[in-house]
Each structure stands twice: as C-alpha cells, then as structure tokens.
Chains A and B, each alone.
Chain A
Amino acid sequence: MGPTHDPQLLKGLLSPLLLRLLAEQESYGYELAQRLRALGLSEIPDGTVYPALARLEREGRVSSRLVSSRSGPARKYYRPTPAGYAALAQAAGDWLSLAAVVTPALSSSVPRQPLPPSEEDLP
C-alpha cells in the first residue's frame, strides 16, 4: 500500500488533476477515478470525483459527449475546453510556484531543538 495523502490538501488539487488527466485522454467518471488511483491517489473517493466533474462542466472548463458502451448505458466522456486548458495552465503554474517555496522549507533537516529567541527580542 502506498503512502496516504491528506484529503484536505488533495481537495484543492482535484480540479487541475482531472483537467490534466482529461487533457491526456477523454474519460468518463469511473475511468477517471481509476486513473487517479493508478497515480497513487487512492484516498480520493469516487464520490468526490463525480461532483468535481459536474462542477467543471458547469464552469465551462470541460465539455461532455455520450458514447455508447457495449457493457451498459452510454457513458459521458469529458474533455477540456479552451477555458479548461487555461485553468489548467494557471493551476499548474500556481502549484509549481508554491511547491518551489514550500518544498525546500519542508525538506531541509529539522534541528533537534529550536534556537532561543534572538537577543533583540529579549527584555
């Protein structure tokens, strides 16, 4: 079993992740949920993915079309719209710039004890 991820952290990243996956290949809801699991994001329940897709569609960031399926009812396949591609580029830029600041701060070694206050702060 892979490492677990904080669902709160993932919440804000779900839309860009979905847009990124859809930019690679058109998919329907359950297929996208499977692709997220394949990425190692097994903490995201399918029940979070489906409303997120509905939201992206309402916001005009993805479009959908029904494709008939041999194993059941027609499936709704999504793909990014130009607005979706723009939102993806924006979100990817935001994330990378945040990660560039946060990663060095969190990945440096943690001292055994915090330093005492600097002399200027002492009474």
Chain B
Amino acid sequence: MNRRLTLMDRLRIERVLWTVDLLTYDIRTGGRRTIRRDLRTNLRAAAGEAGVGEAIRQLGSLRQLARGYVDAQYGDGARRPRWMGGLWWAFVCAILLVAITGIGAAAFRAGVQAANPGATGTYVWNQVSGVGLSTVTISLAHGQPVRAEITLPFGSMLYVAAAVILGGRLWRLVPRRRA
C-alpha cells in the first residue's frame, strides 16, 4: 500500500537527512548530495509502505548510518581529516580568545580605576600580546571610560590555526611514508 506523505512526514524525513548530512560532513559536497538523494528516495518509499515513523525507526542509529557512509567513501579506519572537528575547535578557540580578552580588559580597567579613581588619559595593557593575545587600550576621563580598544594581533590567529590543525587532524592530509 502506498500512503500519501503529508507535509509533516516530508519535514520529518528532511530532518533525518539534515542530521545525516551534518554527520557525514567529512565527505565532499557532491558525495553528500548523492547520499541525501538516495536516502530521501528510500525513506519516502519506506514511509509510503510503512509510515514515516516506522521508516525512520527501521533506519536504525543515524550515527551508525553516517559512519557507514563515511567508511564506504574512504575505507574502514582510513586516515582522513575531520573538517567538522577542525571548524568546531576553531570556533571554541575564537570564543575563548574573545572571552579571555574581554575579562582581561574589564579587569585592567577596574585596576586602573581602583589605583586612581580620578584617572584621565590613555592606558595600554600589552603584557598579553607577548603570548599572541590582544593589546588592550582604554581611555579614561576623570575616572570614567570614554574609549576602549582591543586589537587582536596576528599571533592570536596562530591559536585558531592550531585548533583547526589539532581538531581537524590535518596531518592526515600528509601522505604516509612507505616503510
């Protein structure tokens, strides 16, 4: 029997496809497009026969399905980079850099104001730039902040690059030397 799929059924199928697409991010775009198309066809056929809930249940673990596709593409346990992991760790690293710099800037301003409540002038904190973090510049007028500037030096990008390399296991792009 072929059931007619409702809009909600189609949306549930698309949600599954979106999840699988996210989990197979390491596969190139064209390959993922083929996977989505095939999976959509099969899921719709299954939903037409057994209902969308049963079709999704019969699919089993989406994580296992995605791993199966990645292994099918590259071979079992193949050395391949994890682009999604690299992007994720770059994001986390950037958030941490901004958070550390923000907290540091607030602490620096509080320190200047505590040392001289009526301070006027421009104060620069560049101790952290030595380790590749930001330089903080604040301008105060009678103890009140009028301007704050945080510059991210090029060195801070090294942390993000390191996160991409480590998180994405990019060394796997280097061909193995034959023994």
Contacts and interface: CB of A to CB of B under 8 A. Distances in A.
A46 B59 contact: yes
Given A29-B38, A45-B58, A76-B38, A54 B69 contact: yes
Interface stretch (A16-24, A66-74, A83-91, A110-118): A66-74
Interface size class of B (residues with CB under 8 A): 20 to 34
A75 B58 contact: no
Contacts of B41: 28-30, 69, 72-76
Interface in B22-59: 35, 37-46, 48-49, 55, 58-59
A105 B69 CA distance: 37
A71 B1 CA distance: 11
Interface string A33-74: 110000000000111101110110010000000000101111
B2 A71 contact: yes
B42 A58 contact: no
A30 B54 CA distance: 13
A72 B48 contact: yes
Contact of A71 (B38, B48, B71): B48
B49 to A, nearest CB: 8
A54 B42 CA distance: 13
B68 interface: yes
Given A72-B44, A76-B41, A33 B73 contact: no
Interface string B56-71: 0011111011001101
A58 B61 contact: no
B35 A46 contact: no
Given A29-B38, A54-B73, A48 B60 contact: yes
A45 B60 contact: yes
A51 B64 CA distance: 10
CB-based closest 10 A-B pairs: A45-B60, A51-B68, A47-B65, A55-B72, A47-B60, A29-B42, A30-B42, A47-B59, A54-B72, A30-B45
9 contacts: A30-B43, A30-B49, A47-B61, A48-B65, A50-B42, A54-B35, A55-B71, A69-B45, A71-B48
